[in-house]
Structure 1
Amino acid sequence: MQIDSKLVKELREKTGAGMMDCKNALKETSGEFEKAIAYLRQKGLASANKKLSRQANEGIIESYIHTGSKLGVIVEINCETDFVGRRQEFHELAKNIAMQIAASPSIIYVSYDQIPPEIIETEKQIEIGKEDLINKSEEMKKKIIEGRIEKTLRSFCLLDQPFIKNQDITIEELIKQNIALLGESIKVPRFTRYVLGQYN
């Protein structure tokens, strides 16, 4: 089938994938734009997952100061080579992540596996004591508690947040899209959020 070049261009801008990849995705999905995005994400993210495990010792430290200068963020973003570290797309990703942290006061950790066991236990004790669970069976109570704990703890994690500029993807998916685009492992090892007058 004939694929409209404007549609290919639009898909490329939205996903960051190559022109031929976009054209093939549209062919594979009979020209359906949203399905083509999903197709590219499946293909791109598959390769991105492999690259995630590679060493990433280059990169940048990005900062973001919110309007009014009462809130600021410093975040380290790593990649594998200085070449990618200088790319505009990499800098844009870093800026977006810094803005995400600034916009999300609940974020404390980069990822779920960084949450200390004592924090998980504290949340568990809070949920166990809630009155709406009193008349539930033990099995039902356990499921509800686990679900609530996970939801609360995920809200503390940067990678699990819906991207402020596109709520359809998480920050983890945004990073994987950039891994697919730039061809290197990308990691966020740490960040600091400053709020004027807060010292803890």
Structure 2
Amino acid sequence: MSTVTISAQDINKLRQATGAGMMDCRKALTETNGDFEAAIDWLRKHGQKVAAKRSDREAKEGVVIAQTTPDNKTGIVVCVSCETDFVSKNTDFVAFVQSIADAAINNNVNTIDELNAVEINGAKVIDLVNDKLASIGEKIGITKFERVDAPYVASYIHGAYRIGVLVGLDKEAAEAGKDVAMQIAALNPVAIDESSVPADVVAREKAIIVDVMKQDPKMAGKPDEMIAKIAEGKLGAFFKEQTLTAQAFVKDAGKSVAEYLKSAGDVKVLEFKRVALG
């Protein structure tokens, strides 16, 4: 029995991240001794549909800007978080975040620390952020930063600055880059293709599939080797739904993203980054 105290705040955080019911979230946290990630897996293993990736829930409100250098060889995504949508929707705050993104591009920034040290009109970004915090009365900060370098980088901002995407391609292909960036914004793939899915992600998915199968009365008495083999087959559905090139193309569900890229000039995706508020 768990000895960890499960607070209403813990339960609400899990509800926000998964969309599961309050009682299910309480039980999941109790069964996993308050381990947030383990609780998400517990919900999935017990038939709950997890509503969203946790990364989309890290920043409550804010502005995400994605943009590239003029030659489209480098792209950056920067997220400046705040506490309320009243601030995030303010045009002055959006302009403030845009000025930080511009500074990142103009100074060839690679990290948040580098960005905080950059100067805008004689003042360091970190000091400008602190001044903004004092003036608006909310905690704000640069919470996420991503960069992509490639022969051609496309950028895309979706949903009133709530999602920013960068796509690195092996050749110049503006239209394909925008289409793929929109795909990534909408469907949030975990990797480019099956071969690039991290091993720990594959192992986690397989473990969940196996646990669900073992709870199925039809699988009672089946040897573990058989269940494992069936689970390998079921992973195919995961790869089709969760890897970019295998996904159905959002603009034409009759073809995969890989098929679309082939028709667009045999374009290859080398890398992508997706930053989202939630």
TM-score > 0.5, shorter chain as reference: yes
Q: Which residue of 1 aligns with 2:273?
A: 192
1:75 and 2:167 are equivalent in the alignment: yes
In terms of Rg, which structure is larger?
A: 2
Q: Which residue of 2 aligns with 1:11?
A: none
The structure where helix makes up a greater share of residues is 1
| Distance verdict in 2 for CA 1:171–1:134, change over 3 Å | same
Q: Which residue of 2 aligns with 1:126?
A: 208
Amino acid at match of 1:113: S
1:68-127 CA distance string (max 9 Å, x none):
111111111112xxxxx2xxxx2111110010001113x121111011222222222212
Q: Which one of the candidate residues 240, 248, 254 is aligned to 1:162? A: 248
Q: Which residue of 1 aligns with 2:84?
A: none
1:60 and 2:146 are equivalent in the alignment: no
Within a 5 Å distance, the mapping from 1:1-200 to structure 2 comes to 59-79=151-171, 85=172, 90-105=173-188, 107-130=189-212, 131-132=215-216, 134-135=219-220, 137-138=222-223, 141-179=227-265, 185-196=266-277
Report SS of the residue matched to 2:181. helix
Percent identity (aligned): 30
Amino acid at match of 1:134: M
Bigger relative contact order (CA 8 A; separation at least 6)? 1
TM-score by length of 1: 0.56
Give the gaps of 5 or more residues in structure 1. 1-56, 80-84, 180-184
The structural deviation recorded for 1:153 is 3.1
The structural deviation recorded for 1:191 is 0.8
TM-score by length of 2: 0.41
CA contact (8 A) 2:169 2:267 kept: yes
Amino acid at match of 1:174: Y
| Distance verdict in 2 for CA 1:136–1:93, change over 3 Å | farther
| Distance verdict in 2 for CA 1:136–1:65, change over 3 Å | farther
Cα distance in 2 for residues equivalent to 1:143 and 1:91 = 42
Between 1:161-170 and 1:58-67, the stretch displaced more is 58-67
CA contact (8 A) 2:165 2:274 kept: yes
The structure where strand makes up a greater share of residues is 2
Please tell me the root mean square deviation across aligned C-alpha atoms, in Å.
2.3
Count, aligned residues: 126
Cα distance in 1 for residues equivalent to 2:264 and 2:235 = 30
Amino acid at match of 1:152: F
Amino acid at match of 2:247: Q
Give the gaps of 5 or more residues in structure 2. 1-148
The structural deviation recorded for 1:143 is 4.5
